Amino acid sequence: MALEEFEKEQLSERKKNAIRMRSITNYVMGVFFVAAGFFFMFPFKYTEVYINQYDPVAIKLFAGVCWVYGLFRFYRGYKKNYFRD
């Protein structure tokens, strides 16, 4: 069986629902991590007191990691490559 034939194989309804739920979960988690990155990069006046207790370089680095991981979760939700080996 060629790879092209495998990719055209129909998925069961259960697998389609699982793919849909995983995709939605990845999108929501992507939004969460991107928002967390903005929260740490640009803190509010109220939370600035707590965030300034830590090293500013580490906080900015953590915000960047949150953005990268959030974008990765968006990409993974977009590709929907869950049950293909």
Q: How does pLDDT run along the chain (85 residues), one tens digit per residue?
A: 444 555 566 778 888 888 889 999 999 999 999 999 999 998 888 888 888 899 989 999 999 999 999 999 999 999 887 766 5
User: What is the radius of gyration, based on Cα positions, of the chain?
Assistant: 19
The rounded distance, in Å, linking the Cα atoms of 21 and 66 is 22
The rounded distance, in Å, linking the Cα atoms of 82 and 51 is 37
pTM for this predicted structure? 0.76
Instruction: Break the chain into its structural domains and give their ranges.
Output: 13-79
Q: What is the pLDDT of residue 1?
A: 43
Q: What is the pLDDT of residue 63?
A: 95
> From start to end of the chain, where are the E strands?
none
Q: What is the pLDDT of residue 47?
A: 83
The rounded distance, in Å, linking the Cα atoms of 73 and 61 is 18
The rounded distance, in Å, linking the Cα atoms of 39 and 37 is 5
